[in-house]
Amino acid sequence: MAVSRKSWPNLFCTCLLLCATEAASQQFQLEPPSSTVLRGSDARFSATVEGKWEVMTWTLRRFLVLTVSVTGNVTTSSEQFSAAFCSGGDTGCVEFTIRNTTRGDSGPVICTVQGEYGSKTAQLYVQESGTVNIMGGDVTVVQDQQVELQCVTTAWFPIPTVTWTQNGKAVDSSLYNTTDMANGDSFNTTSVLKLQAVSNTTVACWATVPALTNPTSSSVFLVVVPKPPNWTVLIAVVVGFGGFALLVLLIIGIVFCYKRRKEKQRNYQDEMSRRVKTQSQISGVSVAGQRQGQVNAGYALEGQTSVTPSELTESGFGQAHDSNIFKMPDAVNSNLEGNGYNSAYNTLDESGFRKHRHVTIV
C-alpha cells in the first residue's frame, strides 16, 4: 500500500505520541530519596512502577542483596533484607526493608526494574546515640554563688547537638560552651554550663542527632541554701559605734578628771586660805593676851629667898639679894588663870615662896 507524501507528517506525529506514551508508562519512583535511621532500627524504601514489569533488584552499597518478581517471589542474600508488595497487594508498589541496621549499611540504595525502566538511587544514613551524663550529680550551693556543671556525652555519631534546660526552659547558649573529640568511629563531647544559683532548680543536659526522635538527657537537682549574714558589715557597725562610744566616754572622763582636779585645787586653796586666816586669828589673840598680862611682883629667881625694900621697883616688884629681907607674898592677877592661851602654874617651895611659871600655848 502506497502512502502519499502528504500523509507523512501525520504519521510522524502519531509515532512520536506513541513513543512518549510508552516511555511514560515505563517510569517508576523511589522514595524516600534519603533515609536517616539509628543503629539497630529498620530502614524502609518503596518503589512505585507505572506499567508492567517482571523483575526488580535491590542493591546496597553496590552489592546485590535482593531480587523480587511481579509474581511475589523474593530472593535475598540475608535475612536482614526483605521485600513485599505494599498494602492492598498492589504489584505496582514494592517495599524494601533493611532490618537491624548497622553503621556499615550506610551508603547508596539502588533499585533497578528490568526493561526500559532503568534504576533509581537513594541514600541511607545510619546514626548512633550514646550516653549523656552530668558529672557530680546533685549539687548544694550557697545563694548567689556561681555554679559550674559539666555534661559529657560518649559514643555518638555524628557529633550530637547538646543543649541545656533549667526547670524545663531552654538556657541561653551564651552560658555554656561545648567541645567535641573523635573517639574511633564515634564522637565524645563535653559541655560546661555556668549559671548563678538563685533558687532550687532542676538542670538538664540534652543530646540528640537527626535520627533520634526523642533526645537523650541527664538531669541534676540544684539545692540553693540561704546566704549567711554578712558579719563584716555588722562587725564594722559594732566597731564604729563602739569606737564612738569609747571616744565619748574618754572625753567625759577627761572632763570629769579636769573638773575634779580644779575642784581639789580650789578646795586646797580655800583650805590654805582658811588656815592662814585661822593662823592670823590665833596670832592676834596671842598678842592680845600678852598685852593683857601684868607683872608678877612676887616673882623670884630660883634660889632667891627674899627681897629688900630698896630693890622694889615702882611697879612693886623687887628682887632680893639678901636672905634676911622679908619675903613678899605672891601678887598675881587671879584673872590670868582663866586665859585660854596663857596658863599659870603656881608651886610653893620650902621657904614659903610661890614659884610662878607662865606658859603661852600657840
The reply to whether 141 and 163 lie within a common domain is yes
The reply to whether 116 and 161 lie within a common domain is no
Last residue of some domain: 96, 127, 158?
127
Cα separation, 3 vs 11, whole angstroms: 10
Q: Is the pLDDT of residue 15 over 70?
A: no
Does residue 3 lie in a domain region?
no
Amino acid 188: pLDDT: 97
How buried is 197 (Cβ within 10 angstroms: 0-12 exposed, 13-18 middle, 19+ buried)?
Answer: buried
292's enclosing H/E stretch is: helix 231-292
Last residue of some domain: 101, 127, 153?
127
Amino acid 3: pLDDT: 45
Q: Is the pLDDT of residue 23 over 80?
A: no
The reply to whether 65 and 94 lie within a common domain is yes
The reply to whether 65 and 24 lie within a common domain is yes
Residue 6 or residue 228, greater confidence: 228
Q: Locate 243 and state its grid cell.
A: 569606737
Amino acid 326: pLDDT: 45
Does residue 12 lie in a domain region?
no
Lowest mean pLDDT among 84-88, 253-257, 315-319: 315-319
Neighbouring-strand partners of residue 113: 56, 118
The reply to whether 215 and 240 lie within a common domain is no
The pTM assigned to this predicted structure is: 0.57
Does residue 67 lie in a domain region?
yes
Amino acid 135: pLDDT: 95
Per-residue DSSP letter, 227:
P
Amino acid 321: pLDDT: 44
| Residues 103-161 pLDDT 10s | 999 999 999 999 889 999 999 999 999 999 999 999 999 999 999 999 999 999 999 99
Average pLDDT score, the chain: 79
Residue 218, domain CATH: 2.60.40.10
Percent of the chain predicted with pLDDT > 90: 52
Q: Domain tally for the chain?
A: 4
Domain span holding position 297: 293-362
Q: Cell 506514551 appears where?
A: 21
Q: Is the pLDDT of residue 333 over 90?
A: no
The reply to whether 275 and 308 lie within a common domain is no
Cα separation, 58 vs 95, whole angstroms: 11
DSSP readout, 153-207?
EEEEBSPPEEEEEETTEEPPGGGEEEEEEEETTEEEEEEEEEEE--S-EEEEEEE
Which residues, in sequence order, are CB contacts of 75 under 8 Å at separation 6+?
66, 67, 68
Residue 193 or residue 268, greater confidence: 193
DSSP readout, 36-81?
EEETTS-EEEEEEE-S---EEEEEETTEEEEEEETTS-EEESSTTE
Does residue 52 lie in a domain region?
yes
Does residue 7 lie in a domain region?
no
Residue 274 or residue 219, greater confidence: 219
The reply to whether 220 and 147 lie within a common domain is yes
Lowest mean pLDDT among 92-96, 232-236, 240-244: 232-236
For residue 218, give the nearest of 328, 92, 121, 132 by alpha carbon.
Answer: 132
Last residue of some domain: 225, 247, 277?
225
Does residue 4 lie in a domain region?
no
The reply to whether 114 and 202 lie within a common domain is no
Does residue 11 lie in a domain region?
no
Q: Is the pLDDT of residue 66 over 60?
A: yes
Amino acid 272: pLDDT: 79
Amino acid 1: pLDDT: 43
